[in-house]
């Protein structure tokens, strides 16, 4: 049952025509938000918007490509034109090119980074300029555990998600004092078309059928992931800034990037010796 915690809020979600983006739109609309459904697939954007309206919500489709600054600015402008304001930006859109890293082309890298990373930059900044005028707002970037774990055949995706993490941390420091919270969600392995295809590819390489079965069993449904995005948009969630949260059906986790340190036994003005480094590095990693 809805608690109306997003009543009166206007939310723009990129890549909301399907998958997790659509799940975020449905969950946020259920809490009272008006949704600008952005997707370069105009039919998918319109379909999600129609579904939200049929459920009693307010929604507007938008097909601008957020890979360009002009597209991101047009998305924000549409939110303000149609609904009068923009309170929340969710940068979810992605477009992946995958394959062995030595076989990827420059275009593969550019296409992936343009939507995932550059699109997140453009949308975050375009939204922040509008939010700054009101002295409040919320930006939710979508990263992945791939930013620190790495995944074979997905180097551009991993690099993009690492950039999004760094973007979020930088924006949180600068925009927080302006009343704009900036956080990220890192979805677990979720039942979206790209993820399911990747799981089947990975399952085929596993040594035993039970390993593949366990991998498939770990897949979450988008509906179990979406509530964390809704929470970050609420007044309680906006008290957070610079955080990365992961939600599944049975667990919630926060990701921190920790640093371990080894101090020299004695202070010295001389550089570390290679023998000292061999010992120290071995104790760290």
Task: Give, as one character, the DSSP assignment of residue 234.
Answer: S
Catalytic residue flag (residue 165): no
Q: How far is CA 8 from CA 1, 11, 24, 81, 247, in A?
A: 18, 10, 17, 15, 25
C-alpha atoms less than 13 angstroms from C-alpha of 63 in its C-beta half-sphere? 8
SS3 259: coil
Q: Which residue of the set 157, 165, 198, 231 is catalytic?
A: 157
Q: Which residues of 138-154 are buried (b: 16+ CB within 10 A; e: fewer)?
A: bbbbbbbbbbeeeeeeb
Write out the H or E segment, with its range, that includes residue 98.
Answer: none
Nearest to 237 by CA among 245, 192, 56, 197: 245
Annotated active-site positions, please? 157
């Amino acid at each position: 049952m809805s608690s109306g915690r997003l009543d009166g809020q206007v939310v723009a979600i990129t890549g909301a025509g399907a998958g997790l983006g659509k799940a975020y739109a449905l969950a946020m609309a259920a809490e009272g938000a008006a949704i600008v459904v952005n997707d370069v697939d105009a039919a998918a954007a319109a379909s999600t918007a129609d579904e939200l309206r049929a459920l009693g919500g307010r929604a507007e489709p938008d097909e601008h490509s957020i890979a360009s600054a002009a597209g991101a600015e047009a998305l924000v402008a549409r939110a303000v034109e149609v609904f009068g304001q923009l309170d929340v930006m969710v940068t979810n859109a992605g477009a992946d090119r995958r394959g062995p890293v030595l076989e990827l082309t420059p275009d593969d890298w550019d296409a992936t980074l343009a939507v995932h990373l550059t699109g997140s930059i453009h949308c975050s900044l375009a939204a922040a300029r509008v939010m700054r005028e009101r002295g409040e707002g919320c930006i939710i970037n979508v990263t992945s555990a791939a930013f620190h774990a790495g995944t074979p055949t997905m180097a551009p995706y991993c690099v993009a998600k690492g950039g999004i993490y760094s973007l979020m941390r930088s924006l949180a420091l600068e925009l927080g004092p302006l009343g704009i919270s900036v956080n990220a969600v890192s979805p677990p392995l979720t039942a979206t078309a790209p993820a399911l295809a990747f799981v089947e590819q990975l399952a085929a390489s596993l040594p035993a059928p039970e390993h593949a079965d366990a991998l498939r069993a770990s897949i979450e449904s988008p509906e179990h992931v979406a509530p964390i995005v809704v929470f970050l948009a609420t007044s309680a969630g906006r008290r957070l800034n610079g955080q990365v949260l992961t939600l599944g059906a049975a667990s919630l986790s926060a990701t921190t990037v920790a640093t371990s340190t080894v101090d020299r036994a004695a202070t010295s003005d001389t550089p570390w010796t290679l023998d000292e480094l061999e010992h120290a590095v071995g104790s760290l990693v």
